[in-house]
Structure 1
């Protein structure tokens, strides 16, 4: 028999092991599918089903970072058998083993109907690496049919069709101005709207602690560059020197207004944000910078990502990270905020552009 000391020591080891298992295996915030999930061992997909008549569809068809959302996996299998139904979710190369079925499975109502799996309140965090795959195993097939949920994309010079800014409540006048001014400068209106959504949530008087102001959150430093294009545009005297709370008070009492600070004029704010993107474009289009980008990225330069990260954190910091980290530049610790910023804007942009049909 074990003595008391040995028994207590054994119990402590068991409890510590259980705690470690819960701590490191419970998904909680570490994966998008909730806290009732075990993350299993590394998992690799070694083959694919030969069944050409089986297809998987996911709606929405891209990852979405801006808020929790519902996602539906639709499985089209004419030979579906409910008693042999098997599917899996793989997140960052690890299979997720569910304790409880938190998702809802909707069986076909009649032959030929798809199987639907509804995931509620899916939370995908921007800034993380989120590799998500859905695997479905047809009856009699050793290997699965796989659907990889791609990241949202957004391109600066693609014309946006039928811009939608839901769920933001934006007036038609502001929406029209975004479309008109974006087209004037050859920018994707969905990208400009997404930048505004991220910067100010469409609040025309938004003020940050860094003293960025307006829809596109132009700082006094950025104003200096924009002023080269628009020398007649002025900002409130001594704006930079005034304390934040003092500025808030002056904005509230309308002492600072669109007549003495152009950033409060909605049309000028939109144009100013685009002009600052133009300045950043010129910075990165210089022969020296293009040589750096060409050496690192070769033919596929992520120009939109670089511009957005520069808008957020400064072009010099972005250049320094590219030189240091090459293609992993956006994962440098100094760009943690910029990485979330870029991913959020691309998510908004893709949603505003109403999905894949307008991406190309």
Structure 2
């Protein structure tokens, strides 16, 4: 048997049976530690945790999320690339996102806005998208301009009406530019 040290960890290499004991870690007193039971326990626990219908559904959301975005966007007559861009900017596609201001979910709906839009559970991705797209459509109809609608989504409609395009804070200008950049990227992928 050979003992070899790699990065301060000592390993025992068996010359007799390299397949079964190869690179088994050992402690300084040369006691062999078998980590296989820990690995098996970890994998078993991981399987038990991830084998829930909720998590399986969540792990398989990419396709269903894209489908929901497409269907809801189409229903409201909004470009799905714009909706994806807003979601990317608002939450980074994290359905559990909560902002410091209290905005919730994928499209970061404020609780009062969510209630006004009929969203019962803003943390439910489909309900959140439905409410967010409905709100974005209302803003697009109201302002008749994508940049103004995005500014209103970010800073509030009354802010846009009071201040005009020239007086947007840098945060709102950055928001508009990032959303439009993401929209362009999603357009290229389509």
TM-score by length of 1: 0.34
Partner of 2:172: 338
CA deviation vs aligned residue, 1:184-207 (integer Å, no higher than 9, x gap): 111100000000000000000000
Higher helix share goes to which structure?
A: 2
The answer to whether the 8 A contact 1:190-1:352 is kept is yes
The answer to whether the 8 A contact 1:216-1:273 is kept is yes
How many pairs align? 131
Moved over 6 A (4+): none
In the alignment, which of 211, 219, 223 is matched to residue 114 of structure 2? 223
The answer to whether the 8 A contact 1:313-1:335 is kept is no
1:181 is aligned to 2:72: yes
Counterparts of 1:16-95 in structure 2, within 5 Å, are none
1:350 is aligned to 2:187: no
What is the distance in 2 between the residues matched to 1:337 and 1:274?
22
What is the distance in 2 between the residues matched to 1:181 and 1:318?
26
- Aligned-partner SS, 2:102: coil
- Higher normalized contact order (CA 8 Å, seq sep 6+, divided by chain length): 1
- Aligned-partner SS, 1:263: coil
1:266 is aligned to 2:100: no
The answer to whether the 8 A contact 1:206-1:213 is kept is yes
TM-score by length of 2: 0.63
Unmatched segments (≥5 aa) in structure 2: 1-60
The answer to whether the 8 A contact 2:140-2:146 is kept is no
- Aligned-partner SS, 2:129: helix
RMSD value, Cα? 2.1
What is the distance in 2 between the residues matched to 1:279 and 1:225?
12
Higher strand share goes to which structure?
A: 1
Partner of 2:157: 315
What is the distance in 1 between the residues matched to 2:90 and 2:163?
23
